[in-house]
Each structure stands twice: as C-alpha cells, then as structure tokens.
Amino acid sequence: MVATTAERKTGGTAVQVPGRGLSWWLTGASEMAKRNIRTILRSPQLVMFALIQPVMFILLFSLVFGGAVDVPGGDYTQFLLPGIFVQMVLFGSVASATMGMSMDMQDGIMDRFRSMPISRSSVLVGRTVSEILRTVVSLVVMIVVGTIIGFRFLGGFLPAIGGIALLLFFGYSLSWLGAFIGVTASGPAAAQQIGLIWMFPFSFLSSAFVPTESMPGWLRVYADHTPMTTVVNSLRALFSGTPVGNNVWVTLAWAVGIILVTAPLSVRKYASQSR
C-alpha cells in the first residue's frame, strides 16, 4: 500500500489532496516523532533528568543495600542492575509519555495536529516511538555507570543484545500506557498523580531489588507473577548466562498485551476528543 494523491473537484477546479496510504501514515508518525525528539533536546532539564536520575538510583541502591541484602551468587551489583534498568524504563517511559501527551493536550498543540492532514493514530505512534530514544540514552548511561561499579554482561554479546532489545520493547509498551493516561487525565497535574500512584508499588513489589523469597508468602505470590518480575528475571538470566526458562516469552506476552489493550484505547480517546 502506498500513499496516493487524489483529485477533488471544488467549484470546477481540481484540488490535489493527500492520499491515505501506508506511506502517508508513516510520514505522519515520523514527523511527530521528530517533533517530540526536538522538544526533548530543546529542554535541558529533561535531558539532565534522563541522565542524572538513573545514576542516582544506581549509586544509592548499590551503596545503601549492597551489604545488607543476600542474593543468589552474592554479588548485589550484578543482581541489582537489571532491576534498576527496568525501573528506570518504567518511570521514564510512563512518566514522559504521560506528561508529554497531557501537556500537549492542555497547551492546545493537539488542536493544531488535528487540523493537519495526518492520521490520528500517527500522532500517538510518534509520541511512543520518540520515547525509545530517551530510553536508549538513559540505558547507555546506566550501563556505563554500572560497568564502573562492577556490573558485567556475563552471558556474552548476543544474550546482552537480546536482553536490551527485550527491555526496549517492554519500555515501548509502557509508553503506550503512559499515552493512554495522558489523553484520559484532566490535566498534567492529574496525569502525574495517576502515573505515580501505581508505579512505586508496581516496581518495588517485584524481584527488582530483593529476591521474592524474602517476602511474605501471600505477597510473593503476587510479586512472582507481575510483568516487572518477569522482565527483571529475564534480563538477569540473559545478562548472567543462566537459564531463562519461560520468562522471556511471558515478558513478550505482557508487552504485546499492554500494546493491544492501550494503543486502541488511546487512539479512540484521542479521536473522540478531536470531534
């Protein structure tokens, strides 16, 4: 399917109007992604936050809890970093997409997009795709800092690349969740509160920072079956060279499921506000 140009008769004059093909849709999505990336780069505070926050979390958790938590293998840094990677992707993808969408809605920028010959869905796809770049930047910083304090990809090159790709895909699915919160919240303040109220228990009630074996039995049942735990366990296995079991497939299922639910809901909500 390709973009086409059609002629529309208006007062006896043929007017060129844009087609509605795949190329047209991809062009709209890419332009929206470029616009969002430029917005991030023009905001030094956003760039610094994306760089400083992961460093702060890595150093605080490794220094404070490093000698107090017994983990399999005895190396808390090796245990901790996959959890920090996932937490930062969670916080960054959801918070950034949530606030970005909500602020664009409040500032009237979405009204300008609605007057442009682009698909409604391409606006949201551009937003979520642009979050991948921010995630990559934060992840590179975390890997560098982690390497300095002793973290290593013990499983080899290909498992490390596979783990990073899995993390980015999971982060992309979370950005759709953030986009949904952003288009449904009444404003940026409400969107921020909605995002924060569940992210902290979601990230801490998992295997990200401590083994779930240390939790009460009833809580462990919950923690062992959250998407946060499955992706963290997947990364630990891939990065350390241990058997992954079915964690990777479960993580992929969670990511695909999140996208299949939140993407249509987000587009529908945005389209309903466009009428």
Q: What is the pLDDT of residues 71-107, one digit of tens each?
A: 776 688 899 999 999 998 888 888 777 887 777 777 6
- pLDDT tens digits, 220-235: 999 999 999 999 999 9
Residue 5 within a domain: no
How far apart are the C-alpha atoms of 13 and 234, rounded to whole Å? 61
Query: In angstroms, rounded to a whole number, what is the distance separating the alpha carbons of residues 235 and 171?
Result: 13
pLDDT of residue 148: 92
- Looking at residue 114, its pLDDT comes to 66
Structure tokens at 22: 């795949």
pLDDT at residue 3, rounded to an integer: 42
Per-residue pLDDT of the chain (275 residues; tens, 9 = 90+): 334 444 444 444 443 444 567 787 777 777 778 887 787 777 777 677 777 888 888 888 887 776 667 777 668 889 999 999 999 888 888 877 788 777 777 767 666 776 676 777 788 888 888 888 888 888 998 999 999 988 999 999 999 999 999 999 999 999 999 889 888 887 788 877 887 788 888 888 898 888 888 889 899 999 999 999 999 999 999 999 999 989 999 999 999 999 999 999 988 888 777 55
Cα–Cα dist 257/159, whole Å:
24
- Structure tokens belonging to residue 248: 């990777």
Structure-token pair, residue 182 = 């952003």
259 falls within a domain: yes
Look at residue 11 in the predicted model and tell me its pLDDT.
Answer: 44
Q: Which pair of tokens denotes residue 41?
A: 């780069």
Q: Is residue 217 situated within a structural domain?
A: yes
For residue 6, is it within any domain?
Answer: no
- Tell which residue, 201, 178, 204, 203, has the closest CA to residue 191: 178
Q: What domain range is 132 assigned to?
A: 44-63+77-272
- CA 178, CA 96: separation in Å to the nearest integer? 7
Quick one: tokens of 200?
């902290």
Report pTM: 0.83
Query: Looking at the domain assignment, is residue 8 inside a domain?
Result: no
Beta bridge partners of 8: 15
**pLDDT attached to residue 15:** 39
In a domain, 3, yes or no: no
Please tell me the total count of domains within the chain.
1
* 123 found inside a domain: yes
- 56 belongs to a structural domain: yes
Q: How would you classify the pairing of strands 13-18 and 5-10?
A: antiparallel
